[in-house]
Amino acid sequence: MLKLVTGGSSNGKSEYAENIIVSSGIYPRFYIATMEIYDEESEKRVAKHRKARAEKGFETIECRSGLLNLIIPERSAVLLECMSNLTANEMFGNCGKDGVKERILKGADMLFRRCALLVIVTNELFSDGINYSDDLTQEYLNVLAEINRELAKRADKVYELVCNIPVIWKA
C-alpha cells in the first residue's frame, strides 16, 4: 500500500506519517531521511524528528539521493521523508537535472513493490502565490509538481495536512 502525505511547512505531516506506520503494526520499520544538513537550523530539525520517532521502532536510513540503490527488506513499513528534499538533492547534486523525475519515480516504484506499506511525505509548495523569477527555482517546482502528481496517481490514499488537520483527497 502507498500513502502520500502532503501539506505546508510545519503542518504536522511528519507526525501524521509516523502514526500511519506505527498504527499499521508492521515491522521492520524504516525511516528514509533525505534532508541535507547544511546549518544549525537543519541540525535542530533533524534532532527534533529523531527524538519524535525514537520510541516508535524506526531504523533510520540516510538517503539524500540514489533512492533506486536502496535495499529494503521485503514486506517492511517505510516512511520516506521527504520528496521535496530528495528532488532538490537529486536535481542539484552529482546526477544533475536530466532524468531526475524518472530516477525518483523508479526509486519510489521499487520501494512500493518491496514494502507492505510505503508512506511518502512531500511539501505543498505551490499555493503560496509567489511567482519565482529564478528559472532554476521554477524548474525545481515544476519537477516536484510532476513527481507529486505521479505519486498521487499511484497512491492508494492521499492526505493533505492543513493546520495539523488531515484532509483526505483520495481514500
User: What's the pLDDT score for residue 129?
Assistant: 66
User: Please, which residues have CB within 8 angstroms of residue 50's CB and are 6 or more apart in sequence?
Assistant: 60
Q: Which three cell numbers stand for residue 59?
A: 531504523
pLDDT at 95 over 90: no
Question: How many other CB atoms are there within 10 angstroms of residue 65's CB atom?
Answer: 23
The predicted model scores a pTM of 0.93
Q: How far is CA 111 from the centre of its chain?
A: 12
119-151 residue pLDDT tens: 999 998 877 667 777 888 889 999 999 999 999
Q: What's the CATH code, domain 2-6+18-170?
A: 3.40.50.300
8-28 residue pLDDT tens: 888 899 999 999 999 999 999
Ordered by start, the domain boundaries in the chain are: 2-6+18-170
